[in-house]
Chains A and B, each alone.
Chain A
Amino acid sequence: MSATSLSANAAASMERFDRQTSRYGSITMALGLILSLAGPIYIAFFSGMEVTASMVWVALLAVAATFGVLWVVEPLTYFPILGSAAMYQAFMIGNISNKLLPAAIVAQSAIDAKPGTKRGDLAAVMAICGAATVHLTSLLLFVGVLGTWLVHSIPVEVIEVARLYILPSLMGAVLVQCIVSMKALRPTIVAVVAALLVNFVVVPLAPATGAFATALVVIASIVFSWVLRKRTTQASSEH
């Protein structure tokens, strides 16, 4: 009896956490959206730049042709990983795959929590809070305050190397950390095989799928991990 009331209590408090973060999250995100548009609108239309609405439309359509799919696909791709609370953080802070997700994985593995569990969700939210704090501080200090000085004192090659090679330098390590902390052999094999097939077979054969590549791999990993799961009785005793 006490065990069930305890778990009912846990469910109720997670329910409250969900409600609170949805409210705070959507309000702050809407504010961020408005503020991020106010600046460019002022520059384009109230600073004597003679920008016409059609110039903006043409430019936006051209950008949409490349990124329009990602506007929809990225939130879909990351929702199962982030959960609803962290969605509002991640898509405002940005740099999701190269910073926020790695931070969440490190934090979950630091306290041995699995993604998708209640502990895992709270750990991910706190990890993103930590990452946001570091990110805001370092940006304000190194770019906002010291940026114009640093731009003349950091060798060009160093900046060039960071720009060219940050992704491979980051991704190899994150993938290993991810595999080690998930401890899920079959989904790991499924995911790597799916990524190899999509990247080296599907996309070269049908280049139009390039924008969906990550999403395709994520969907394939979910579907085939489920189809090829270990069919034993202890399947759901993880949490």
Chain B
Amino acid sequence: MQTPLAVAAADPSSTNIWAIANTPFLWICVLGVFAVIFVQTVLYAKAATAAAPHIEMPVRELKEAFRAGAVASIGPSLAVVLVAIALLALFGTPAVLVRIGLIGSAAAETASASIAAGTMGASLGGDSYTQQVFAVAFMAMSLSGAMWMLCTLIMTPLLKKGGKSLAKRNPAVMALIPTAALLGAFSALTIAELPKSNVHLILVGISAAAMGLCLYLAKALHQKWLKEWALGISIVIALVSAYYLHTA
């Protein structure tokens, strides 16, 4: 489909995005980001394994947590994969892998790219979407993603200090904050879906009911695995319903 020597096909006004978007150098950077995350994962798992025995947490529980996290993310990961595949034509494989698959999220990155293309008087995927527009859009969404990481790098140590001094002065409030924050975040994210359309409204209900049923069955029948798979099952049930509601 694309020429193996992609760089040879570089031409700012060409609309053949894939010719530039699959440059070997980009692939190297993407694989580098994957490798960095993999190394981070290994280092973190080691640090957790070293700390766990001292807080009377058996290593078995760490393994359980790892497995639960892995299983719970199968559904969301496959959903991200589907969305990523849909965007391959726009951005090429390396950019999709690093921007939509990792670091960012499909919604934020596509919006950023489309805003950036707009400043060049172009729209994503249209006749005006040239290699030059792609280069600027990719640059803008990468810089935006970099700002997120930069803010995290700067703010995390400060927040940690603040949290520590708060924990000393008022331990009860520190015990309450994560619970309240988590409930707040997911209430907000869920309720924001409700007014989008009737289908969204119904799907939130279906997904919630499926989870309720899975958790009830897991408890009633003492099937612990069901608790771990509940999220994946609920997503599948809701998405299958979505397919029929959407095409009906």
Whether B175 pairs with A238 at a CB distance below 8 angstroms is yes
Whether A28 pairs with B187 at a CB distance below 8 angstroms is no
The residues in A between 128 and 180 inclusive whose CB is less than 8 angstroms from any CB of B are: 128-136, 138-140, 142-144, 147-148, 150-151, 154, 157-180
Chain A to chain B contacts (Cβ below 8 Å), 22 pairs: A28-B36, A35-B32, A41-B139, A72-B151, A88-B40, A91-B148, A102-B73, A103-B73, A117-B175, A122-B52, A122-B55, A143-B85, A161-B247, A165-B246, A168-B200, A171-B204, A172-B205, A173-B207, A173-B238, A191-B187, A214-B184, A225-B179
Supposing A25-B40, A32-B36, A66-B111 touch, asked if A226 and B173 sit within 8 A by C-beta, the answer is yes
Q: Please name the 10 residue pairs, one residue from A and one from B, whose CB atoms are nearest each other, closest first.
A: A127-B69, A221-B184, A172-B207, A130-B69, A169-B238, A130-B70, A116-B178, A13-B54, A173-B234, A172-B208
Number of B residues, CB within 8 Å of A: 162
Whether B191 pairs with A63 at a CB distance below 8 angstroms is no
The residues in B between 1 and 53 inclusive whose CB is less than 8 angstroms from any CB of A are: 1, 7, 10-12, 20-21, 23, 25-26, 29-30, 32-34, 36-41, 43-45, 47-48, 50-52
Whether B151 pairs with A75 at a CB distance below 8 angstroms is yes
Bound Cα distance A99, B232 (Å): 11
Bound Cα distance A143, B85 (Å): 6
The residues in B between 180 and 194 inclusive whose CB is less than 8 angstroms from any CB of A are: 180-194
Whether B74 pairs with A134 at a CB distance below 8 angstroms is yes
Chain B contact residues, majority secondary structure: helix
Query: Which of chain A's residues has its CB closest to B155's CB?
Result: A75
Interface string of B102-120 (1 = CB under 8 A from A): 1111101001100110111
CB distance from B167 to the nearest CB of A (A): 10
- Name the B residues within 8 Å of A238 (CB-CB): 175
Whether B80 pairs with A37 at a CB distance below 8 angstroms is no
Whether B179 pairs with A115 at a CB distance below 8 angstroms is yes
- Name the B residues within 8 Å of A236 (CB-CB): 171-172, 175
Whether B41 pairs with A129 at a CB distance below 8 angstroms is yes
**B124 at interface by CB-CB < 8 Å:** no
Whether B139 pairs with A40 at a CB distance below 8 angstroms is yes
Whether B135 pairs with A51 at a CB distance below 8 angstroms is yes
Whether A67 pairs with B190 at a CB distance below 8 angstroms is no
- Name the A residues within 8 Å of B78 (CB-CB): 138, 142
Number of A-B contacts (CB under 8 A): 611
Interface string of B61-100 (1 = CB under 8 A from A): 1111111111111111111111111101100011111100
Number of A residues, CB within 8 Å of B: 171
**20 extra A-B contacts, CB within 8 A, seeds A63-B141, A131-B72:** A13-B55, A20-B50, A30-B153, A39-B95, A43-B134, A47-B135, A59-B119, A75-B155, A89-B41, A92-B103, A102-B231, A106-B230, A132-B41, A135-B77, A135-B101, A154-B85, A164-B246, A165-B238, A174-B190, A218-B188
Query: Which of chain B's residues has its CB closest to A149's CB?
Result: B85
Chain A contact residues, majority secondary structure: helix
**B149 at interface by CB-CB < 8 Å:** yes
Bound Cα distance A110, B219 (Å): 12
The residues in A between 98 and 115 inclusive whose CB is less than 8 angstroms from any CB of B are: 98-111, 113-115
Whether B142 pairs with A36 at a CB distance below 8 angstroms is yes
Whether A171 pairs with B20 at a CB distance below 8 angstroms is no
Bound Cα distance A21, B42 (Å): 11
- B172: contacting residue among A35, A74, A213, A235, CB under 8 A: A235
Bound Cα distance A95, B145 (Å): 12
